[in-house]
């Protein structure tokens, strides 16, 4: 997506509540699908926001992602399928665009925080 377009969209939706990536849902879907690889990003701006969040059966915490927006939909990609994966900001007040694998999601995966 064009950076100017993204800025315009951000301004147009300014004041709307943020949609924040739902790490717990992502963990459940990764576990249910028994996948070794997953990525996440904002659907309408994936090129600039998306990245790997799960690789070789392990959570990835050091790859860039930006996972909240007032206008672009946070999605999880598993096996080439893009799935809406978000909560509204008021539902997860301690999560933001830069949140990576909160403890609750790691527990779902049965993994320890690194």
pLDDT tens readout for residues 18-64? 999 999 999 999 999 999 999 999 998 899 999 999 999 999 999 99
Among residues 71, 17, 14, the alpha carbon closest in space to that of 44 is found at: 71
Q: CA 73, CA 30: separation in Å to the nearest integer?
A: 19
Q: CA 114, CA 106: separation in Å to the nearest integer?
A: 10
pTM of the model: 0.84
- Return left, alpha or beta for 94; rule: phi > 0 is left, psi -120 to 50 is alpha, else beta: alpha
3-state secondary structure (DSSP) of residue 62: coil
Name the residue with tokens 């993994």. Answer: 111
């Amino acid at each position: 997506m064009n950076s100017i377009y993204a800025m315009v969209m951000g301004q147009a939706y300014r004041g709307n509540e943020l949609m924040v990536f739902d790490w717990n849902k992502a963990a459940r879907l990764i576990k249910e699908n028994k996948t070794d690889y997953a990525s996440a990003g904002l659907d309408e701006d994936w090129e600039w926001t998306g990245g790997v969040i799960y690789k070789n059966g392990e959570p990835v915490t050091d790859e860039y992602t930006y996972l909240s927006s007032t206008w672009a939909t946070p999605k999880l990609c598993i096996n080439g399928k893009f799935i809406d994966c978000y909560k509204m900001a008021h539902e997860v007040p301690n999560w933001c665009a830069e949140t990576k694998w909160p403890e609750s999601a790691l527990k779902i995966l049965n993994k320890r925080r690194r």
